[in-house]
Structure 1
């Protein structure tokens, strides 16, 4: 307590005033001087006791904060009457809750990062092993046709790895919140047309028809390039699910609350156990038969959510998968 410079200054001023008043009192008569000393002693003692009690409370709060900084989970500060210390207590409690929440988030992110790194290593190890094997076969083979076939397979594997790395880089940028989305008016019909363009050849080869019903004036606010990326991942999922000879229906509608885009394919739909995990990273279904790396849907969800939208996936009553995307007005 006496380490506090303000307290020492106050004690010095109080002592000087007491001495001056005591001298003046004794100059009048002894009773006046004794009254001054007695009054100063009482008020000084009360002030000292009250200040000491306050410092003890502050020391208790300081000890609790120190425990928090050393990762102690328990925080106990007895209830104080309304006043400065009560306000301080309230702020410390709020600070503690924020710290605990942040710690929980950081621990969760740490676990997710470890899981993601393990998944990435697994996803890259498989094609790398195949590439090494094919390179060995190509080096040992004397058949030119076989060597070319091995080289084509190596090229396909490298393209798959490049696609995985590209998608992971996009996801990492989204997670780090460093992507600056454009906030422009995007025509829904033009967005769907742009998203379908990379799949025109595949749609024709697999005899898959695309039926669209979108109002020409329907628009959403967002970044057209990133939104097209999200829709392409969904469309890729639909095309893979259909296989051959099917239909993809894309509808768009407006209402006073939101703009909705629905994508329905005529594929086999999703297993009930998979519905709650479709947007989990590296999730490829309970059977493990799903092609790809299992990050396309997660990437689509991140893009849509970071632009204020929502995406829901369910099985269509008459068969196939249904994707519902909504953007608020």
Structure 2
């Protein structure tokens, strides 16, 4: 029972009921006192009448009668007296009105009791009415707030600055409102993300598909030499590979954004991961005449998913190679201290303008100096992978001097 007395409403109503009961007890005691006084007065009047008659007939008997009025008589004397009175028809079975003084006290007593009952009933009714109005108002306030949540209005907060179950209910409702709001916002974001994703896929695939359809129509309707036919087929092959890479990259990015990928993180050498990424691009770097090197450092252990992290590094290093002229270089450096693990990727390429620099990690963003083959998804994918490993990526660049990508993983 004690667990419910944390509610101030129960404490207040209990205190009021105790106070009313105390008042009721006090009034009852006063009424009993008044009734007893009335009974004594009626008793005295009755004895007075008898005394006057005895005094009139035989005054000498008063010295025997009067002492018997104020003290309890003997049982035998009382029984004999009852028998005598019974001979004259005076018994407890007589109607109350035949005992005028007693009857008057009984009538007054009944009147007082009925009046007190009506007053107490009215007081309890009024208290009960206003107490329930208080509770129903609070319940309707919660009901109204719940209706507003259903209608999509989440700004209504139920303020309860007192302890008790209503405050707990209000806090739970506010928490539920926040959770529903966040869930709805998440659903809307996912819906918008899906719309944007479909729009991006449609936009990115439209150009290569149109090109392939055109080449295919030419191959089917025109007489071409073997060399031209081979050229068109090679172009279609490039477009197919580009579309395959694009679709896979977009799906990877979508899965990362939806957190639908479970990373298999192991505490393994980050140096080996970076070396694997560089080796995967060695042929491309050689063809472009770019020198890619990893600065020697102590072996850095870091908990990560090697396959995904390699893809992130490959996209960044590949971007550096594509924006560096022949004879240039790309340097990769690993730094470790008690606070963080950092990977720096620096190229001697053309650099990124100040206008483009804040946007290079946005999906499908293409800087002014990007090649026509670029779709602007590689760096966005790398950023998502790095952030999924609780990392931070930033870029520093200056036109004509190159670009530095800084990837930082805090240890705490």
| TM surpasses 0.5 | yes
1:238 is aligned to 2:331? no
> What SS does structure 1 have at the residue aligned with 2:367?
coil
Distance in 2 (CA, whole Å) between partners of 1:78 and 1:252 is 53
Once the two structures are superposed, what CA deviation does each residue of 1:12-54 show, in whole Å capped at 9, x if it has no partner? xxxxxxxxxxxxx99xx52345434532432243023211221
Question: How do 1:102-117 residues align onto structure 2 when only pairs under 5 Å count?
Answer: 102-117=183-198
- Name the structure with the higher helix share: 2
Q: Name the CA distance, whole Å, in 2 between partners of 1:316 and 1:216.
A: 30
76-85 or 231-240: bigger deviation: 76-85
Unaligned residue ranges in structure 2 (runs of 5+) = 1-31, 33-105
What is the number of residues matched between the two proteins? 308
Query: Contact 1:284–1:290 (CA<8 Å) still a contact in 2?
Result: no
Q: Is the 8 A contact 2:351 2:400 kept in 1?
A: no
Q: Counterpart of 1:310 in 2: which secondary structure?
A: strand
CA–CA distance in 2 between the matches of 1:212 and 1:74?
54
Match of 1:137 in 2: 218
- Cα distance change on mapping 1:113 and 1:214 into 2, 3 Å: farther
Of 110, 126, 131, the match for 1:50: 131
- Deviation per residue, 1:189-222 (Å, 9 max, x gap): 2111111122111111222112221423212111
CA distance in 2, matches of 1:138, 1:290: 25
Pick from 306, 310, 321 the counterpart of residue 224 of structure 1.
306
- Structure 2 counterpart of 1:170: 252
Q: Give the corresponding residue for 1:38.
A: 119
Partner in structure 1 of residue 201 of structure 2: 120
Aligned-partner SS, 1:75: coil
CA displacement 1:72-115 (0-9 Å, x = unmatched): 35526576755433443343334334433443444344333322
CA spacing shift, 1:251–1:287, aligned 2, 3 Å: closer
CA distance in 2, matches of 1:189, 1:316: 28
Aligned-residue CA RMSD in angstroms?
2.9
Q: 1:41 to 1:311 in 2, by over 3 A?
A: same
- Paired residue for 1:92, among 163, 166, 173? 173
Q: Provide the C-alpha distance between the structure 1 equivalents of 2:373 and 2:403, rounded to a whole number of angstroms.
A: 16
**Secondary structure of 2:409's match?**
strand
Higher Cα radius of gyration: 2
Displacement of 1:166: 0.8
> Partner of 1:260: helix, strand, or coil?
strand
How far apart in 2 are the matches of 1:141 and 1:290?
30
Structure 1, gaps ≥5 residues long: 1-24
Contact 2:320 2:330 in 1 (8 A): yes
Helix, strand or coil at the partner of 1:142: coil
1:256 paired with 2:335, answer: no
Deviation at residue 286 of structure 1 after TM alignment: 4.5
Residues 282 and 293 in structure 1, CA contact (< 8 A), matched pair in contact too? yes
How far apart are 1:289 and its partner, in Å? 4.4
1:298 & 1:189 partners in 2: Cα distance?
Answer: 23
Higher mean alpha-carbon deviation, 308-317 vs 196-205, is at 308-317
Partners of 1:33 and 1:44 in 2: how far apart?
Answer: 16
CA distance in 1, matches of 2:374, 2:259: 25
1:204 equivalenced with 2:204 (yes/no): no
Query: What is the CA-CA distance between 1:61 and the residue it aligns to?
Result: 1.9
Q: Which residue of 1 aligns with 2:388?
A: 306
Question: CA deviation digits over 1:290-320, x for unaligned, max 9?
Answer: 6321111111111111112111111169811
CA distance 1:318–1:159, change in 2 (3 Å) = closer
Q: Is the 8 A contact 1:214 1:253 kept in 2?
A: no
